[in-house]
Amino acid sequence: MLADEIDARHIDLSVFSKNLGLIMSKDEEMDTGIIDLEALRMKINRELKTANGAVIIDGHYAHEVAAPNETLIVFVLRKAPWALAEVLHGRGYREAKVWENVEAEIMGVCTAEALETHKPRKVCEIDTTTATAEQCMQKMLRRLQGKETCDGPVDWLSHPRTMELIKRSVPYSEMP
């Protein structure tokens, strides 16, 4: 939606990687492809060099393939872990994959990884929990225009519903 709004090229990293044969293997347990990140970086850099205008790179590892000096902003879309679990269960994801994603959301892994390669002023968290896709896109657009700040830091770890979620999903005998 944002790419259409600002007339930018949109690259979905999962589709891009699959179309270019950059999936090296499959993680059967997590039901996900293992991408050749170095080859993907090279392909993305080539795409950026030949692009006419803005490019939006979309994927949870976008921050790992886009050169920091050529990145205007990194939007990290966050969702409350209990809402994320519901969405992923609804998609039919395996329990291990659901919890890998929920744990990453609780810990803010995508934000932390983005901050490892990009300056904090370039990393913008957007809480998508109760917002529509249109509302999120408008927030990102206003941020690009300098008219709005980001939602972060988003902290699910200290939220009471997060502990409820963990207690429901981990047997007490396994809790530390």
* Domains of the chain by start residue, with CATH: 1-59 (no CATH), 72-176 (3.40.50.300)
Q: Are the beta carbons of 118 and 68 closer than 8 angstroms?
A: yes
List C-alpha distances in Å: 96 to 5, 50, 52, 75.
Answer: 36, 40, 41, 26
Task: State yes or no: pLDDT of 118 exceeds 60.
Answer: yes
pLDDT at 97: 87
Average pLDDT over residues 118-132: 95
Task: State yes or no: pLDDT of 171 exceeds 90.
Answer: no
pLDDT at 104: 93
Instruction: Band the pLDDT of 152: cuts 50, 70, 90.
Output: confident
Predicted TM-score (pTM) of the model is 0.86
- Give backbone dihedrals phi and psi of 9, rounded to 5 degrees, phi first: -80, 140
Summarised one tens digit per residue, pLDDT across range 1-35 is 999 999 999 999 999 999 999 888 887 776 777 88
Residue 128 corresponds to which amino acid? T
pLDDT at 174: 47
- Rounded to 10°, the helix 109-117/95-107 angle is 60
Mean pLDDT estimate for the chain: 89
Mark out the alpha helices in 25-126 (DSSP H runs): 37-50, 62-65, 81-90, 95-107, 109-117
pLDDT at 63: 86
